[in-house]
A and B are shown apart, each in its own frame.
Chain A
Amino acid sequence: MSTVPRTRTRPLQGASTVKTLNCPNCGGTIALRAAGTTVSLVCEHCGSTLDATQPELRVIVEANRALHRPLIPLGSRGELDGVTWEVTGYLERTDGEEPWSEYLLFNPYEGYAFLIDDGDRFSLGRLLDRVPGWDDNALSVGGQVFEPTWPTYEARVTFVVGEFYWRVKVGERVQVTDYAAPNLMLSAEENGAERSWTRSKLLARGTAEAAFRIPARQASWDSTPRADEPSPYRRNLREALVIAALAAAVLLFLGITAPSNRLVLTRQIDVPFDEKSHNVVIGPVDLPSARQSVHVRARVDTLNNSWLDIDYSLVERRTQQSYAGYATAERYSGRDSDGAWSEGDNDPGVRFSSIPRGTYDLVIDGAAHRWVDPKAAPAGFTPIFGSADLPPQDMVPVTVEVRRGGGTGGLLFLFLVLIAAWPLILWFKHAHHEARRRGWPQSDDEDGDE
């Protein structure tokens, strides 16, 4: 991400800037690509470090070893961010645990840049020509805020070849502190003499590979994300939240404007105890809509230690089409060592779904039963369950209420849950990515302070 105007961006022309020399140690032919700015040159044949500021290439460190070739050969050219870069140097570094590679790129109009390869992704780094500003606990460069990442670590050079604008050698150590922003990393490198700032941009997968014509790398989905790697779910999550909000608003509007339930009829019937079944027909139940739900409720206020089985049949008068349903009203109470207790639903309801238009009768089959405590005490003792003081009932009065329509609340809730499912999945994935991305270890000092 260069701030240099495009008018200054010109590609390299031919190979006229390359100067061919012989290594004074091994005699191999070496190329000096950035003559005038190169300070140190490492022979790609024998590994000797040469002083490029001297015309005769004085040997600084003599070596006689075969060098392995970098993935991107020295002298390769490729276009990144609209600038044609030439690879002049290559070095490998490690923090003691993870190795990575850095290619030194050169363009006579743009200067130097670093192509950093962590083995999975490439980043393009440029040296900053200004000191970042502090903003609370973060750094700021050109309005972009960088958060602190892991503690300062030591980076050591383990391999070097090519030409550099500083005297680099194997074993060179610097203290590195990284700060991250989405797609960007700000690194401070310090040795005893100076501190330099590099801002690197995470390149899209395949960009560097295409620019330098090397095999493209496949994404590894189970690898830990980099500190500067933005969540791939963020965009989809934002879009899904907007869509979900719109859909939920439409659903709520439909739910609010849906017609509420209407009372069709109310009847009171009496169901005798200990009869196998007591049959009652009530009606008419007029259902005017093409299809509607019907809710039948039976309220039995006088139930005591007894239950009532109720079977319903909603029968259309003309076609005799029948729809069945059932409910059980029950109520039990008593007293034990913990005090008084009661349980059971004496107001059960049943909902019939999608009943067609017509005039119906509601056929009710009721059967009332007394509950007998199997551990009941003999006469004269206080019973554990129930109350012996209540007079025995012969009939159970039941209030039957029939309503049509309504009952869409559960359906509305179900659809809202279905709509929320995808944004929730994306949010979990996004949060998981961010937790792994920010999961850098804390230093002992920080732990101690906290």
Chain B
Amino acid sequence: MSRSSIFYALICLGLIALYASAARNGYSPFAQAGARPFFFYGSRGPTHK
């Protein structure tokens, strides 16, 4: 196995460990929680033209 393949395998192991840890802790980079920004208040309406 080439050096780059060994390096890639180690990265894959790290990614698997990271995923397992994130799934176990309920972490998601796509979570939208957080305080509403000030510009989100105000008038809304359809974008239909």
Contacts and interface: CB of A to CB of B under 8 A. Distances in A.
Interface stretch (A109-117, A159-167, A348-356): A348-356
8 contacts: A247-B12, A323-B33, A328-B40, A343-B47, A352-B33, A411-B22, A419-B12, A419-B15
A343 B5 CA distance: 49
A410 interface: yes
Interface residues of A, number: 55
Nearest to B13: A247
Nearest to B27: A354
Interface string B5-49: 100110111011011101111111111111110001101111110
Interface string A368-404: 0101000000000000010000000000000000001
A328 B45 CA distance: 12
Contacts of B30: 351, 410-411
Contacts of A325: 32-34
B5 A240 contact: yes
Interface stretch (A119-127, A190-198, A200-208, A284-292): A284-292
A354 B25 contact: yes
Contacts of A422: 8, 11
A450 B29 CA distance: 54
Contacts, number: 128
Contact of A369 (B13, B20, B32, B44): B44
Contact of A328 (B26, B44, B48): B44
B33 A324 contact: yes
A415 interface: yes
Given A292-B26, A332-B45, A415-B18, A351 B31 contact: yes
- Can you list the 4 inter-chain pairs with the closest CB atoms, starting with the nearest? A353-B31, A293-B26, A332-B46, A326-B36
A352 B23 CA distance: 13
A408 B28 contact: yes
Contacts of B20: 254
Interface string A235-256: 1100110011011001100110
A351 B28 contact: yes
Given A350-B33, A385-B46, A293 B27 contact: yes
Interface of A: 235-236, 239-240, 243-244, 246-247, 250-251, 254-255, 258, 289-294, 307, 309, 311, 323-326, 328, 330, 332, 334, 336, 341, 343-344, 350-355, 369, 371, 385, 404-405, 407-408, 410-412, 414-415, 418-419, 422
B35 to A, nearest CB: 5
Interface residues of B, number: 37
Contacts of A293: 26-28, 31
Nearest to A350: B32
B44 A307 contact: yes
Contacts of B29: 410-411, 414
Contacts of B19: 251, 254, 411-412, 415
B34 A254 contact: no
B5 A344 contact: no
Given A243-B9, A330-B44, A353-B28, 6 more contacts: A236-B4, A291-B24, A325-B33, A328-B44, A332-B48, A334-B48
Contacts of A324: 33-36
With most chain B CB atoms within 10 A of its CB, the pick from A293, A294, A385, A418 is A293
Nearest to B7: A422
Contacts of A326: 34-36, 40
With most chain A CB atoms within 10 A of its CB, the pick from B19, B30, B47 is B19
Contacts of A236: 2, 4-5
Nearest to A257: B23
B26 to A, nearest CB: 4
B37 to A, nearest CB: 9
Contacts of A352: 31, 33
Nearest to B44: A307
B28 A334 contact: no
Contacts of B9: 243
A260 B8 CA distance: 31
Nearest to B49: A336
Contacts of B12: 243-244, 246-247, 419
A239 B32 CA distance: 38
Contacts of B4: 236
A198 to B, nearest CB: 33
Contacts of B48: 332, 334, 336, 341, 343, 385
